[in-house]
Structure 1
Amino acid sequence: MIRRPLRPLARILPARMRGENTAAIERENLRQRHEQMRDKARLRAEGRLLVLGLLFFCAFVTIGGRMATMASSPAEEPQAAAAGSPIISQRADITDREGRLLATNIDTYALYAQPPQMIDPEHSARELARIFPELDEEELLADFTGPRRFLWIRRTLSPEQRQAVFDIGDPGLLFGPREMRLYPNGPIAAHILGGASYGREGVSSAEVIGVAGVERQFDQYLRDPANEGAPLELSLDLSVQAALEDVLSNGMDFMNARGAAGILMDAHSGEIVAMASLPDFDPNNRPRPLTQGHPGDSPLFNRSVQGVYELGSVFKIFAVAQALELGLVNPQTMIETQGPLTWGRFRIRDMHHMPPEMTVSDVIVESSNVGTSRIAMMLGGERQRQFLDQLGLLEPTGVEMIEAPTGRPLLPANWSEISTMTISYGHGLSVSPLHLAAAYATIANGGRRVTPTLQHSATHPEGTRVMSEETAAQARSMLRQVVTQGTASLAEVEGYEVGGKTGSADKPKENGGGYYNDRTIGTFAGMFPASDPRYVIVITLDEPVETTGSQPRRTAGWTAVPVAAEVIRRTAPLLGMRPLVDDGGDAGVVLASQ
């Protein structure tokens, strides 16, 4: 903007010539300038007041209209008018393959305190210590009378506890709504489910997050509103799981074992129908991890998935199956079993006296370490390693549990010739019981690799072929003979045609200095029915001792095998399997007493 000068020369010079006062011209111009500035400021202020008045008017009209609408509407929560699926905020349920609940949510309350609002802190502290014995009255009183303005007292309350706290009548004790994760079956499938806890917490809500097991593995799915609350369906069968855990617990007590693991798996799909680890826990009250001692002593430790052990003679069938597949032997090939077999300073012996020569089938039936070692020498270390890798025995199982990667097999640092021989009968390579179940499923289903899974599905991808159907059938025949003629005779369950192999492995010492003479891992790995297997079973007992005889017995034939037989006897009918009976006469007819 061009401003008008206060002393314009065009007026000053003529005024001087006329003898007029030029200062009057400057004062007049200054006055006019001030009047112009005043007028502009007035107009700007009037415009602003007009705009502000309009804004206030619109705001009051809007608020008044909204208040009128709310006053005339019913007293209920407004519903979204937009079409679409509602947002599901709670954690989804977990069910078994039949839709039975394994994990769900219940509404509860949390208890917190605001000390500045408390009327009688001493009375409140005393009553809370009475209602919750785990709380300390003196600590509560110190918190209530100290500088703290907020503190949590209990994350969850039962209805009875909430009423008792309400009866205290102190306005500084407040309740916050919560959803609590509930496992209605208690410790059943505890290691699979894992457990849940609270993440972010507020006074009016809390975030439930998985801390272990499938709760942690599928945490994102269970919390995803896009799933609209659809439950996570597992491959487990609740009734079979309960039966397995019951038999395994009784067997562990009867055999004086330190721990136990059991797996029942579909041989074709790899779906885990039941899987247990003992000792276990209640996920509704998940214990704290051990801070000292061996991790395997914790009830949180999953022996089926995390525990890796030398499992003994159950490995022998793998060496024989590979030799059959390569055409190096057939079931009737004679193998030298004269012992001991010497390799450097190592001596490989059999537990019992063996004849100088045995057929390949008899090597499995009689469980000859020497015979299996000689077959392994035909294979060589490199081919043995490749075959075991194809069976999935050299890497984590990949089952859908957060603990699965920790169950990594322990391989020899140098896969030497002596390692090849000892691995053939289950020493020198440590795997989990779940690894073993998957490998046996490959033999049971006709030679295709199986990947263990906890997800129930109508279809599963077909695994890669590891051995021919003929080789798998020959291996199954040998495993059947182990039950009918060999070390697993106590596994025979009338009507279900069981096949399998025992394994009794000495436990290595914790400091790495050899093996214990009186501590073993007893294992039975099998399948049923052996002629056309549908299911694979693995039972493992840690340090079992059978004491009903004159001498304590620790081998799997006396410890793990009877437990496996009872599991089959209890679970096969639950799986819809009818016992096979002879057609002749009334031999297969059983009359139930009234």
Structure 2
Amino acid sequence: MSFLSRIMVLKSKAHFSAGGHNRPGGTQSSAFQGTVKKKSDQARSRVAIIIAGFSVVYCIIGGRLVQYGMASPEVVSSIMPADRLMASRPDILDRNGEVLATDIRTVSLYAEPHKIVDADEAVEMLATVLPDLDLKGTYKKLSSKSHFQWLRRQLTPKQQSQILALGIPGIGFRPEKRRFYPGGATAAHIVGYVNIDNRGVAGMEKFIDNQGLADLAAVGMTSDTPLEPVKLSIDVRVQAIVRDVVVNAVTNYKAKGAGAVVLDANTGEVLAMASAPDFDPNNPLEGAAEGWLNRMSNGTFEMGSTFKSFTTAMALDSGKVKLTDNFDARFPIRIGGFTIKDFHGKHRVLSVPEIFQYSSNIGTAKMADVVGIEAHKEFLTRLGLLTRMQTELPEVKTPTQPREWKKINSITISFGHGVSTTPLQTAVAGAALVNGGKLIEPTFLPRTQDQADEVAKVVIQEKTSADMRYLFEYNGVNGSGRNARVAGFDVGGKTGTADKVVNGRYDSKLNFNAFLAAFPMGNPRYIVLSFCDEPHSGEGGGTIASYTAAPMVRDIIRRAAPLLGVQPQFGDGGAALLQSY
């Protein structure tokens, strides 16, 4: 049979078979349809099972994603969430917009110990880049069973690239922000510093955190979005001058410490303030021994004869004493087993200006006695010298005073012994003596004259303030303030030399020297207070305030007054001009 014949036979058989299936009620047709339906039902069941399986898997995955999204971030081995590591702090600026503190981006080194192949080798390799690495401590971290360990915070870009080149498995970097202080130690005690986690520890950095930034960080509401800068009242140019003078005083006078402040007499703004020893806020640990103490606001001292300014103002303001009155200073005062005498006694009757000029302990004590003990205590409280000063800086110490004021206490306090206050609040009270009688709490933030008037408290009469301006200038020209005079700027003030207490007794060889000054005395705009703690030398060989603290004020005013916009005046009423040919 040919190939074509076979094809024809097969086609005829197929036609016959198909025709048979189409017959109604055929047995073979029913069997075929049952088989097709069964296979169709099986296919549908399999597709449904597959769809149900995928649905269950996707539901599980979705549920876990929701669970992870709502769960708190896991914190292991002190690692902070990434958003907190990169959270911004506001820049800190001086009154002219110069940057005092800002954030810079950096990275920190971490390890995942469970991925470390050889802890010994990893430590040795890291030590080639980080020579000061704690080898024993790092090995302990790398060989632990934890999943995360910090190894070094805030690396330099060079260190990061060198460690990357080592190719150590299990070692990585996390981005962070680091606080940078362009001026270094220039305004350390004012600006303060932050810890390794960029949280304020001292100064205005801590003040900023206390205004709500720390609370926001605690609940995770901070971000890396730049914040509005915080502008301070200080002038970094004047600040640099004040710190330079203070640091030089410690060195030149062989002193334990020194400090100074420049204060706007009419607004209470602090233009500059420095305390030495100090520290570099970029590396605060180096100054931990002595530098952290802000002696201007967080140290209390017996301010010596600068307190005679307040005693004199009290006597004049009471109306019981006038500038023309005289007091007998011929003989020492003996009370309670103590003898009160003058350092440079004139042994004669002295007028009020002479008592101020010669810094007579006897005359000052007698003026205080005229006013009385309770009135004396009330007056110093009114001037804020016996209570904790209110200002933005967190580092403020509370003054000390006798538990019970007796006559001997009032006498010694009248000339600056028996009460310890901070130098800054002494300057603030001094401003009230010359600005018309208004006590204005100090601020490290910009303040307008209107804002100052709102917070000012009148503590003495305007006439008393005018009398005190006269006495300050009189002492500046004729008395112990002569070493602080600067030609053209009419500087006046009052020195104070206080013996320090050693083992419960006053030691005449160890002094705390201070000078409270104002300028220009015709219309005082600025208060300058300086101090020198335990100097062992001074100008002209002396160690009292007129040879140490007064020259510090002179050097500050001579360099800073032009920057503060004070025009020098020469001759009576400024009629003359200083010319050089």
TM-score range for the pair, normalised by the shorter chain length: 0.7 to 0.9
Distance, in Å, in 2 between the alignment partners of 1:357 and 1:588 is 40
CA distance in 2, matches of 1:141, 1:324: 73
1:538 corresponds in structure 2 to 529
| Aligned-partner Cα distance in 2 for 1:467–1:142 | 67
8 A contact 1:93–1:222 mirrored in 2: no
- Of 205, 208, 214, which aligns to 1:218? 208
Paired amino acid for 1:93: D
SS in 2 for 1:322: helix
**Contact 1:319–1:424 (Cα < 8 Å) also in 2:** yes
Deviation of 1:100 (Å) = 1.0
Distance 1:148 1:555, change over 3 A: same
Question: The residue matched to 2:427 in structure 1 has which SS?
Answer: helix
Aligned mates of 2:57, 2:155 — CA distance in 1: 49
TM-score (norm 2): 0.81
How far apart, in 1, do the equivalents of 2:264 and 2:552 lie?
A: 19
**C-alpha distance after superposition, 1:339-368 (max 9, x if no partner):** 211113111010012132011011001100
Q: Distance in 1 between matches of 2:548 and 2:387?
A: 29
Correspondent of 1:555 among 534, 544, 547: 544
> Offset at 1:546?
2.3
| Equivalent residue number for residue 196 of structure 1 | 194
The answer as to 2:375 corresponding to 1:383 is yes
CA distance in 1, matches of 2:321, 2:54: 96
Equivalent position to 1:400, from 392, 399, 402? 392
Aligned to 2:510: 519
Out of 265-274 and 460-469, give the one that drifted further.
Answer: 460-469
Tell me the residue number matched to 1:134.
132
Q: How many Å separate the matches in 2 of 1:151 and 1:361?
A: 70
Question: Is 357-366 or 147-156 further displaced after alignment?
Answer: 147-156
In structure 2, give the amino acid aligned to 1:445. N
**Aligned-pair distance for 1:58?**
13
Matched, 1:569 2:565: no
Bigger Cα displacement from structure 2, 578-587 vs 262-271: 578-587
How far residue 115 of structure 1 moved from its aligned partner, in angstroms, is 2.2
CA distance in 2, matches of 1:553, 1:312: 17
**Do structure 1's residue 177 and structure 2's residue 175 form an aligned pair?**
yes
Which AA in structure 1 matches 2:562?
P
Counterpart of 1:415, as a letter, is W
Which residue is 2:310 aligned to? Answer: 318
The amino acid across from 1:147 in the alignment is K
What letter matches 1:312 in structure 2? G
One-letter amino acid matched to 2:342: D
Which of 227, 232, 242 is the equivalent residue of 2:230? 232
Deviation at 1:124, TM superposition (A): 2.4
Within 2, Cα distance between the matches of 1:136 and 1:320? 61
Letter in 2 for 1:332: T
Give 2:421's aligned amino acid. Answer: V
Aligned to 2:156: 158
> Deviations 1:132-181 (Å, cap 9, x if unpaired)?
22213344334323434322111110111111111111121100000111
Structure 1 residue 435, shift from structure 2 partner: 1.1
SS in 2 for 1:191: helix
Name the SS of the counterpart of 2:524 in structure 1. Answer: coil
Question: For residue 94 of structure 1, what is the aligned residue in structure 2?
Answer: 92
Q: Tell me the residue number matched to 2:413.
A: 423
- Post-superposition CA distance 1:479-520 (Å, at most 9, x none): 1111100011111100100010000000111x4x21112100
Query: 1:419/1:258 Cα in 2 relative to 1: closer, same or farther (>3 Å)?
Result: same
Confirm or deny: 8 A CA contact 1:120 1:170 kept in the other structure.
Answer: no
Structure 2 distance, partners of 1:318, 1:525, is: 11
Deviates more, 1:225-234 or 1:178-187: 225-234
Q: Go from structure 1 to structure 2 and tell me whether the alpha carbon gap of 1:346 and 1:174 turns closer, same or farther (over 3 Å shift).
A: same
Shift of 1:322: 1.3
Aligned length: 498
Which residue of the partner structure matches residue 356 of structure 1? 348
Matching residue's letter, 1:567: I
Amino acid paired to 1:563: M
| 1:227-265 Cα distance to aligned partner (Å, 9 max, x none) | 971111111111110110011111221111110111110
Q: 490, 507, 524: which is aligned to 1:497?
A: 490
Q: Aligned letter for 2:471? A: M
Q: Contact 1:448/1:462 (CA < 8 Å) preserved in 2?
A: no
Cα-to-partner distance string for 1:270-323 (whole Å, 9 max, x where unaligned):
110101110000111111786xxxxxx621011000110001000111111111
AA matched with 1:279: P
- Unaligned 5+ runs, structure 2: 1-44, 63-85, 217-221
The answer to whether the 8 A contact 1:449-1:463 is kept is yes
- 1:330 corresponds, among 311, 322, 325, to 322
Q: Structure 1 pair 432/171, CA: closer, same or farther in 2 (3 Å)?
A: same
Tell me, what secondary structure is at the counterpart of 1:517? Answer: strand
Greater Cα shift, 217-226 or 160-169: 217-226
State the distance in 1 between where 2:481 and 2:544 align: 10
1:58-78 Cα offsets, whole Å, 9 max, x none, are 979x99xxxxxxxxxxxxxxx
1:432 to 417, 422, 428: 422
- The secondary structure found in structure 2 opposite 1:335 is strand
Deviation at 1:548, TM superposition (A): 6.0
Stretch of structure 1 that moved more, 494-503 or 135-144: 135-144
Residue 114 of structure 1: which of 112, 115, 131 is its match?
A: 112
Counterparts in 2 of 1:585 and 1:348: CA distance versus 1, 3 Å = closer
SS at match of 1:507: strand
Q: Is 2:338 the counterpart of 1:346? A: yes
Contact 1:444 1:536 in 2 (8 A): no
Matched position secondary structure for 1:565: helix
Q: CA–CA distance in 1 between the matches of 2:491 and 2:135?
A: 61
Residues in 2 aligned to 1:89 and 1:135: alpha-carbon distance in whole angstroms: 27
SS in 2 for 1:502: strand
How many angstroms apart in 2 are the aligned matches of 1:585 and 1:530?
16
Name structure 1 gaps, 5 residues minimum. Answer: 1-45, 64-87, 200-207, 291-296
Q: Does the Cα contact within 8 Å between 1:312 and 1:426 map onto a contact in 2? A: yes
Q: Deviations over 1:464-490 (max 9, x none)?
A: 111111110101110111110001111
* Displacement after TM superposition at 1:89 (Å): 4.3
2:569 to 547, 572, 580: 580
- One-letter code aligned to 2:468: A
TM-score by length of 1: 0.79
Question: Does the 8 Å CA contact 1:263/1:272 hold for their aligned counterparts?
Answer: yes
Q: 1:558 to 1:579 in 2, by over 3 A?
A: same
Verify the 8 A CA contact 1:582 1:588 in the aligned structure 2. Answer: no
What residue is the counterpart of 1:80 in the other structure? none
**For 1:419 and 1:504, how far apart are their aligned partners in 2?**
18
**Deviating more after overlay: 126-135 vs 214-223:** 214-223
Structure 2: distance between partners of 1:542 and 1:565:
18
2:102 paired residue number: 104
Local SS of the residue matching 2:377: helix
Structure 1 or 2: more helix by fraction: 2
Q: Residues 367 and 586 from structure 1, CA distance in 2 versus in 1: closer, same or farther, beyond 3 angstroms?
A: closer
Structure 1 residues 341 and 589 mapped into 2: Cα distance closer, same or farther (>3 Å)? same
Aligned equivalent of 1:187: 185
